[in-house]
Structure 1
Amino acid sequence: MSFRLAGFRPAVVNAVALILALSAGVALAQNTKGQTAPTPATTAAAKPAAASTAAAPAASAAAAGDNDMASAKPGDATAGQAKAAACGACHGMDGNSTDPQYPKLAGQHEMYIAHQLHNFKSGSRQNPIMLGMATPLSDQDMHDIGAYFASKRSLPGVADQALVDRGQKLYREGDPARGIPACMACHGMDGRGNPGAMYPQLTSQHAQYVEAKLKDFHDGVSWGNEPHAQIMPAIAKQLDPQDIAALASYIEGLHVADNNASVAASP
């Protein structure tokens, strides 16, 4: 896979319809549970920390949002299924997207999904389509959607055999001489991630999506101002295009072959 991104025209054309569908799905799920409609987003994305006069209010707003996220109840997968109906257009109804420009969400950790939806809504992670999708969601909606996708299983992918050796070495050993740590130190031997530390699941993720995100990180894109969000840009900066392609392919083929702990990177 190269650094090019697949065209976004289909997503843009359907963005308004998806947002309306999401709003309807959320309202339906909330009416079923006797809840009130979610409150709309209150502010646009804050400017980077370079503008110190704006940074303090943005930091306060982000901290308040994080506190709300922490106070939300654990997600309800049953409620989340209705709320996630619009997500299926891009990510698949069970979280296994068929278009590799959109990430698989099946098996991803609830808190990680909820946190990223919060980032999209606040603007700390920039994506115009996801901004529109996340804006109507309450923190509880985000947790419910996260719980639904976390209950699903990601379908295994396939790695390019020609790239496996390089990808495997970087994933499992890193390259200390270039300041590249092993990916598995945070994301686990089998790519399942670490929900407590909010390191996402990577296993079986589309190579095209992984490569695009690693390139973004390499170019300095971050998903927020918190220290946790600065980890990947610092690491990816040390990767060259061949490293990124090999890692992305290896991650797509990374999966647990059975119910035991054995790991496979499929050819």
Structure 2
Amino acid sequence: MGKIVFLIGFLIAFASGSGNLVAQGDPVAGKAKALVCGSCHGADGNSTLAINPKLAGQGKAYLYKQLVEFKSGVRQNATMAAMVMGLNDEDMHDLAAYYSSQEVTLGGADPRLVDLGRSLYRAGNKDLGVAACMACHAPDGLGNGPAGFPALGGQHAEYTLAQLKSFRSGIRNNDTAKMMRATVERLTDPELEALASYLAGLN
């Protein structure tokens, strides 16, 4: 019984600590620090180039994790590695706080791909054992901030598709417990394209 009480206390303390970690960051300071990021990601985090991700409205925990992993090399990208090289922990928290406070602009889905994309997102593929995407990323595509699951709604289809394919090939491998790799490895190119297109217009 004592061990159970200790474990519960530990989990509560851990959850509280995680909440404080996510709560860190000054969006005002982050806005000033984000000036150099704007050329690729847009001044407010809504990039105009489809190959560059929109950061506006993204969860703080997820953004912070990506910055840390670009810097450590866990997530590989030469451009981002150079950009984050000089950032300290406070800088990364501030940037995450700023971008998460912005509102993402929605795109539009290809009408020909909506039905398949919606089906995969909301129901998965039971025949292949693929879970519904919304189980982690929410029905409206806003993600799960505390859990660190990213928002996907409104993201450029081209960028989303590139990331899905990178997870499938294993080039990108910074997903927790291989969750993304295990999911997309069973999906075909047309399915990934439909999913990415559907997400671009999801809100």
Report if TM-score (shorter chain) is over 0.5: yes
For the 8 Å contact 1:222–1:230, the answer to whether it is kept is: no
Pick the aligned partner of 2:52 from 94, 102, 112.
102
Task: Find the counterpart in structure 1 of residue 176 from structure 2.
Answer: 228
Q: In structure 2, what is the equivalent of residue 215 of structure 1?
A: 165
Instruction: Give, in angstroms, the shift of residue 162 of structure 1.
Output: 0.4
Give yes or no for contact 1:114–1:142 (8 Å, CA) kept in 2.
Answer: yes
Correspondences of 1:63-212 after superposition (within 5 Å): 74-212=24-162
**Contact 1:223 1:229 (8 Å CA) reproduced:** no
The answer to whether the 8 Å contact 2:163/2:172 transfers is: no
Size of the aligned set, in residue pairs, is 185
Counterpart AA for 1:141: D
The two structures, once aligned, show a CA RMSD in angstroms of 1.6
Structure 1 residue 223 displacement after superposition: 3.6
**Displaced runs of 4+ in structure 1, greater than 3 A?**
70-73
Structure 1 unmatched runs, 5+: 1-66, 256-267
Residue aligning to 1:20: none
The sequence identity of aligned pairs, in percent, is 48
Alpha-carbon distance in 1 for matches of 2:114, 2:72: 38
For residue 73 of structure 1, report the CA deviation from its aligned partner.
Answer: 6.7
| TM-score w.r.t. length of structure 1 | 0.67
Q: Which string of whole-angstrom CA distances, capped at 9 and with x for unpartnered residues, describes residues 129-173 of structure 1? A: 000011111111001001101110000110000000000000000
- Partners in 1 of 2:77 and 2:187 — Cα distance? 24
| CA–CA distance in structure 2, aligned partners of residues 219 and 234 of structure 1 | 11
Amino acid at match of 1:247: L
SS at match of 2:29: helix
Whether the 8 Å contact between 2:63 and 2:96 is mirrored in structure 1 is yes
Q: Which amino acid aligns with 1:101?
A: I
| Counterpart residue number, 2:197 | 249
| Secondary structure of the structure 1 residue equivalent to 2:113 | helix
Q: CA deviation at 1:95?
A: 0.4
Q: CA deviation at 1:229?
A: 5.2
**Cα distance, 1:220 vs structure 2:** 1.6
**Is residue 220–residue 237 contact of structure 1 (8 Å, CA) maintained in 2?**
no
CA distance in 2, matches of 1:251, 1:93: 22
Partner of 1:240: 188
Q: Which has the higher contact order (CA 8 A, sep 6+)?
A: 2
The residue that corresponds to 2:7 in the other structure is none
CA radius of gyration, larger in = 1
Give the TM-score, by structure 2 length. Answer: 0.87
